[in-house]
Amino acid sequence: MLKIEDLSVEISGRKVLNHVGLSIPKGEIHALFGPNGSGKTSLIHTILGFPSCEVISGKIWFDGVDITHMPINKRVNLGIGVAFQHPPVIRGVKLGDVLRSFVEGKGGATKRFRIAQAVNFPIEFLDRDLNLGFSGGEIKRSEILQVLAQRPKFVIFDEPDSGVDVENLEVVGKTINNFLGRRSGLIVTHLGHILRYMNANLAHVLIGGRIACSGKSSKVLSQILKEGYKWCERCLREKEIEECKRKR
């Protein structure tokens, strides 16, 4: 469904992704781990096509289509949905305005109401300015709400568990899990808490813009929790040494 080949990316001349390869087949959920600043969010922005992320080499395929140089909205219309970690405040633009673009026509209002209910939002919330004065938990729920309304084939969640308290974590986790069903997706998580409530097939670890390892999600997570990201860094160093040897 989503295939990333040898992707290198720069942001204002600084390399943030280094020969990244990743393949998420249809119906699979993958997790992406990595310490702060390892390039997780840059990878998401590149998949989406944010102009600040300049693709130096490599390709991104979605559903068999090369989307490497497609405008953001075209990719989204192909079926990619994203729940952001730090969405910007947009004064005067209402949450409802965005939902209306996904769910309109006859019965649209009722549908929007039901979707809002699913994430425990009162209907008044749809009249609020996007992300203005939202609490951490409200931002998460608003992002999930928008993705639910969009019904994408492939969905990316950027740190859905950061800044969410224990009770809400369960609500967020279960809502995401319900929604995913047979969809495909990528869950980016720093600490892996969210994975308690959902099943990921594979996990990848991103360190310094490189994929350090890939493996069974539960195994990778327990290893990280046990030994921290240092373990992955070691892994990556060994990998690099291997590569050098091969080149020689």
Partner 1 sequence: MQEKALKAREKPAALGPDLDIKSFTRDVKSWPNCPVRSLPKDIAQQSLNVGVRTDEKGRAGTYFQIDHSTVFGAVQKMFEGKAEIMSTEEALEKYDWMEDYWWKLVAVDVDKYTALAEFGWDKGYFIRVLEGQKVTLPLQACLFVSKDNLNQNVHNIIIAEPNSEMQIITGCAVHPNVQRGLHVGISEFFVKKGAKLTFTMVHNWAQNFDVRPRTVALVEDGGTFVNNYVCLKPVKSLQMYPAAYCKGVNSRARFNSILYGTKNSYLDVGSKVVLQGVGSRGEVTTRAIASDNAQIYARGLLVGEQEDSKAHLECRGLLLSDSASIHAIPELVAKVKGAELSHEAAVGKIAEEQIQYLMARGFSESEAESLIVRGFMDISIFGLPNQLQDEVKKMVDITTARAL
Q: Is 54 in contact with 127 (CB distance < 8 Å)?
A: no
d(CA 220, CA 8): 24
48: contact with partner 1 by CB under 8 A: yes
84: contact with partner 1 by CB under 8 A: yes
d(CA 124, CA 16): 40
Q: Which of 98, 109, 118, 235 binds partner 1 (CB under 8 A)?
A: 98
Which range, of 50-58, 164-172, 208-216, 224-232, touches partner 1 by CB under 8 A?
A: 50-58
111: contact with partner 1 by CB under 8 A: no
150: contact with partner 1 by CB under 8 A: yes
146: contact with partner 1 by CB under 8 A: yes
Nearer to partner 1, 10 or 233 (CB): 10
Q: How far is the CB of 170 from partner 1 (least distance, A)?
A: 27
Which range, of 27-35, 91-99, 107-115, 225-233, touches partner 1 by CB under 8 A?
A: 91-99
65: contact with partner 1 by CB under 8 A: no
Q: How far is the CB of 74 from partner 1 (least distance, A)?
A: 9
Q: How far is the CB of 45 from partner 1 (least distance, A)?
A: 8
123: contact with partner 1 by CB under 8 A: no
108: contact with partner 1 by CB under 8 A: no
Nearer to partner 1, 65 or 93 (CB): 93
94: contact with partner 1 by CB under 8 A: yes
Q: How far is the CB of 215 from partner 1 (least distance, A)?
A: 30
87: contact with partner 1 by CB under 8 A: yes
239: contact with partner 1 by CB under 8 A: no
Could you count the other beta carbons within 10 Å of the beta carbon of residue 182? 7
Convert the chain into a string of H (helix), E (strand) and C (coil). Answer: CEEEEEEEEEECCEEEEEEEEEEECCCCEEEEECCCCCCHHHHHHHHHCCCCEEEEEEEEEECCEECCCCCHHHHHHHCEEEECCCCCCEEEEEHHHHHHHHCCCCCHHHHHHHHHHHCCCCHHHHHCEECCCCCHHHHHHHHHHHHHHHCCCEEEEECCCCCCCHHHHHHHHHHHHHHHCCCEEEEECCCCHHHHCCCCCEEEEEECCEEEEEEEHHHHHHHHHHHCCHHHHHHHHHHHHHHHHHHC
Could you list the residues that contact partner 1 (CB under 8 A)?
A: 48, 50-52, 71-73, 76-77, 82, 84, 87-88, 90-94, 97-98, 101-102, 129, 146, 150
